[in-house]
Chain A
């Protein structure tokens, strides 16, 4: 059974800092890995999707890396802003045939002005 863990559970940083969020998974035979953002009381916004054959994806100030062999992914946020404050979730499909996602517990990020 795939288990996804995110560290840290919560993070508070001053504006402008570069930061790294970590995601680990127990079964390295993943199809892809997706990073989401969730604002309080809201749904999920897809940030980045990394296919199993890729090592990283970039979107603006966000960079996600994937190391399948070690079962890890990181989300790097450059020059953090107060608007980045949210919960960040990583998720992997439960199997290769379907797309049901197993989510990590999330990292609650607070960027202080």
Chain B
């Protein structure tokens, strides 16, 4: 299957700093990527849809000024958590759809664990 990578795998930062997470499709192009957040022992919740060359679409309740998304190329989307606070600590996972196949299958990155002190 298609491969999606994320960087970094985990990050610890002080409250008030900004953290950038990268999501890359390694062997396919993805015009659309998705960012999810997962709190401990909970399922994944969609945060936003990242569209190459245009603005991201945010889900209700997600602050677009706090979670900045940039999809500058067909293989890279970035999520920047601005002025991070302890409540932003979570597991962030991105996904992308491989349009080469006939199925609408999504492939997920390995996730990034963010801990804000």
Contacts and interface: CB of A to CB of B under 8 A. Distances in A.
B108 A100 contact: no
Interface residues of B, number: 24
Interface residues of A, number: 25
Main secondary structure of the interface of A (DSSP, over half): strand
Contact of B106 (A34, A51, A105, A106): A34
Interface of A: 31-32, 34, 36, 41-46, 49, 51, 89, 91, 93-94, 98-106
Given A43-B109, A43-B110, A99-B32, 16 more contacts: A31-B104, A32-B104, A34-B106, A36-B108, A41-B111, A43-B108, A43-B111, A44-B95, A45-B108, A46-B108, A49-B103, A98-B32, A99-B34, A101-B106, A103-B44, A104-B43
